[in-house]
Amino acid sequence: MKVVRTCAEMIEISKFYIKQNLRLGFAPTMGCLHDGHLSLLEHLNRRCDARVASIFVNPKQFCPGEDFERYPRDEERDLKLLKKNCDYVFIPYEKEMYPKGFSTSVEVSGLSDTLCGKKRMGHFKGVTTVVARLFGIVRPTFAAFGQKDYQQFVIIKKMTQDLSFGIQLIMCPTVREKDGLAMSSRNMYLSSEERARALSLRKALLTAKKEIEIGQTKAENLKKTMLKVMNNLGAKAEYAEIVDTENLQTVDPIHGEVLLAVAAYVGKTRLIDNEILRCKEL
């Protein structure tokens, strides 16, 4: 595995693969890696000739007052984990990604304004800007993202289509701890007591899923159930929504393929989770 620190070197590597008609797979991350991140590389392995992971804690996607400064960083550990799982790891310096005078941003309107976008102003603009920049440098054939950040995936898919990047996106299932908690770099912030309360997000989704299975179709009622479960089990719910998987708009009564999405604070840590369900058509 080769560690690449500059955009110029990454671009040269990418050119080498493109010239030979070889397929590069790409998994962008912010580091503090876990099995969820490694699963993206596993999914790419089946389709690509070589794999690139990037590690960049992107300041543009953190809102004022969020955890940019204290976001967990452990490059040595990340490199050890990646060693057998990818061919290149791109770890650009901030001045490489955003050199003096960098003045472009990429924004997907509509899809970025719902769910997490309502609460984290400018977050998705930061995400699409960095992913567009990374796509331009790495120029992969495939790029893998996790279902855990479903809204992010849908937004990046739209950007990729709208800007004709010609990159095939792969959405990989959420990897969970044994007890069902979605793996996340931010789980590191949780005390053992908070770790137990963090399960309330999963519990809320599974409770709603069960209600749907026995015939509940009213999104409003299901949302109330999810909020109640999270709040009763020690989280501070931020939202619980049921939306169409493509346009992320509320679906009520629920029908077709829907996304159940929740966000909640456990102590100071903001967590998200979701579940995709295929319901009966109206």
- The number of angstroms, rounded, from the C-alpha of 27 to the middle of its chain's C-alpha atoms is 11
**Shortest reach from residue 77's CB to ligand AMP, in Å:** 14
Residues forming contacts to ligand AMP in the complex (CB under 6 A) are 29-30, 36-37, 39-40, 145-146, 148-149, 172, 174-175, 182-185
Closest to ligand AMP by CB, 140 vs 212, is: 140
| 209's tokens | 């899923």
Contacts of 75 (CB under 8 A, 6+ apart): 31, 55, 91
Distance separating alpha carbons of residues 241 and 101, to the nearest angstrom: 39
H helix runs in 116-260, sequence order: 116-119, 123-138, 150-162, 192-197, 200-213, 219-232
Closest to ligand AMP by CB, 30 vs 111, is: 30
Distance separating alpha carbons of residues 84 and 272, to the nearest angstrom: 29
Closest to ligand AMP by CB, 30 vs 204, is: 30
Distance separating alpha carbons of residues 209 and 63, to the nearest angstrom: 32
**Shortest reach from residue 216's CB to ligand AMP, in Å:** 27
**Shortest reach from residue 38's CB to ligand AMP, in Å:** 9
**Shortest reach from residue 31's CB to ligand AMP, in Å:** 7
β-bridge pairing 2-4 and 24-29: unpaired
Closest to ligand AMP by CB, 163 vs 170, is: 170
Find the Cα–Cα–Cα–Cα dihedral 171, 174, 175, 176, rounded to 10°. Answer: 180
**Shortest reach from residue 245's CB to ligand AMP, in Å:** 16
**Shortest reach from residue 78's CB to ligand AMP, in Å:** 10
Q: In the chain, helix, strand, coil percent, each to 5?
A: 40, 20, 35
Closest to ligand AMP by CB, 153 vs 239, is: 153
Residue nearest to ligand AMP as judged by C-beta position: 146
Residues identified as active-site: 37
Strand intervals (E) in the chain: 2-4, 24-29, 50-55, 88-90, 142-146, 168-172, 236-244, 257-266, 269-278
Distance separating alpha carbons of residues 98 and 136, to the nearest angstrom: 13
Closest to ligand AMP by CB, 149 vs 241, is: 149
